[in-house]
């Protein structure tokens, strides 16, 4: 069971769709939503990841299903929404956590690779969000949270993904403005360097770089999946019913890093974990 600070049953009667929900931050968020009363749908391109995630959700007593969905492909994306609507009748909460990228110096990224990352992280996010709005939230309202990366000062080795996520951040502002009249709130969360299972998908040398870089914040540590999930759950919840169009940083102060006050080791902020 997850460690949650939120009221039991706060999402009772709600249906949540979490992309990238089979592992990492997506699964941690799905687990919390499920234990707080929501019916949960986890979606991702690879079914094997979803199967393991679904086993965890069901073992914890959540009402949950898993759907293989490639958000880059229109038919796959629409079929996913069709299945959720058929099974549960609505989509009240949407977490756009699905995405993908690969590390590379900017000068070595070819057009195909750049386009694939933008299609997934920006276009895929937009068109899934549009489909959910048109199929459910236009009539029922709802809450959407987009998961970004810490791209405010650029992101070396990830120029394609940083550019796409910056687009998602701006998209958040536009959609929050256009769809607020329909009772839809849209926000973003910008995680810093998180000690997530997703790090395992990168080469060992890149993992080492990320872990060392991740201490450039005021807590002098990497963040946890639980800390990001807590921010996502808050923004989805009634507690944030007067919050829309914002980007919440969950980065331990990485965004205010300055060499004038270099972070140092301390044990006074050990982190929120399960």
pLDDT average, residue stretch 154-160: 91
Position 199 confidence tier, pLDDT thresholds 50, 70, 90:
confident
In this structure, is residue 274 part of a structural domain?
no
Burial code of 62-81, b = ≥16 C-beta within 10 A, e = fewer? bebbbbbbbbbeeebbeebb
Query: Looking at 4-18, 126-140, 253-267, which range is the least confident one?
Result: 253-267
Considering only residues 247 and 207, tell me which one the structure prediction assigns the higher pLDDT: 247
Given a cut of 80, is residue 201 above it in pLDDT? no
In this structure, is residue 7 part of a structural domain?
no
In this structure, is residue 8 part of a structural domain?
no
In this structure, is residue 126 part of a structural domain?
yes
Given a cut of 80, is residue 210 above it in pLDDT? no
In this structure, is residue 4 part of a structural domain?
no
% of the chain beyond a pLDDT of 70: 100
Given a cut of 90, is residue 12 above it in pLDDT? yes
In this structure, is residue 243 part of a structural domain?
yes
User: Distances from the Cα of 168 to the Cαs of 11, 47, 59, 220, in angstroms?
Assistant: 26, 26, 34, 28
pLDDT at residue number 202: 73
pLDDT at residue number 205: 79
- pLDDT tens digits, 165-186: 999 999 999 999 999 999 999 9
Q: Residue 246 sits in a domain of what CATH number?
A: 3.40.50.720
What residues make up the domain containing 143?
15-261
The token pair that represents 26 in the structure block: 């997506």
In this structure, is residue 268 part of a structural domain?
no
In this structure, is residue 271 part of a structural domain?
no
- pLDDT tens digits, 23-66: 999 999 999 999 999 999 999 999 998 999 999 999 999 999 99
Residue 2, class by beta-carbon neighbours within 10 Å (0-12 exposed, 13-18 middle, 19+ buried)?
buried
Position 149 confidence tier, pLDDT thresholds 50, 70, 90:
very high
Contact 132, 94 (CB under 8 A): yes
Total domain count, the chain: 1
Claim: this prediction has a pTM higher than 0.85:
yes
């Amino acid at each position: 069971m997850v460690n949650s600070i939120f009221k039991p049953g706060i999402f009772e009667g709600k249906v949540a769709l979490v992309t990238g929900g089979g592992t990492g931050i997506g699964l941690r968020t799905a687990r919390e939503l499920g234990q707080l009363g929501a019916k949960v749908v986890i979606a991702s391109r690879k079914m094997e990841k979803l199967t393991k995630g679904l086993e965890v959700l069901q073992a914890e007593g959540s009402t949950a299903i898993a759907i293989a969905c490639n958000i880059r492909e229109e038919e796959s994306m629409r079929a996913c929404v069709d299945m959720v609507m058929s099974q549960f009748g609505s989509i009240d909460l949407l977490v756009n956590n699905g995405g993908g990228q690969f590390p590379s110096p900017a000068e070595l990224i070819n057009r195909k690779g750049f386009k694939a990352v933008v299609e997934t992280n920006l276009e895929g996010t937009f068109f899934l969000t549009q489909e959910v709005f048109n199929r459910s939230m236009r009539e029922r309202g709802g809450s959407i949270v987009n998961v970004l990366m810490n791209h405010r000062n650029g992101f070396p080795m990830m120029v394609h993904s940083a550019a796409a996520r910056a687009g998602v951040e701006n998209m958040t502002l536009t959609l929050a403005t256009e769809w607020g009249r329909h009772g839809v709130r849209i926000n973003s969360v910008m995680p810093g360097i998180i000690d997530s299972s997703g790090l395992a998908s990168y080469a060992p040398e890149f993992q080492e770089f990320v872990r060392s870089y991740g201490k450039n914040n005021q807590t002098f540590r990497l963040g946890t999946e639980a800390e990001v999930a807590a921010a996502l759950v808050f923004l989805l919840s009634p507690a944030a019913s007067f919050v829309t169009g914002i980007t919440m940083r969950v980065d331990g102060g990485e965004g205010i890093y300055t060499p004038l006050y270099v972070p140092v080791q301390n044990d006074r902020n050990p982190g929120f974990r399960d």
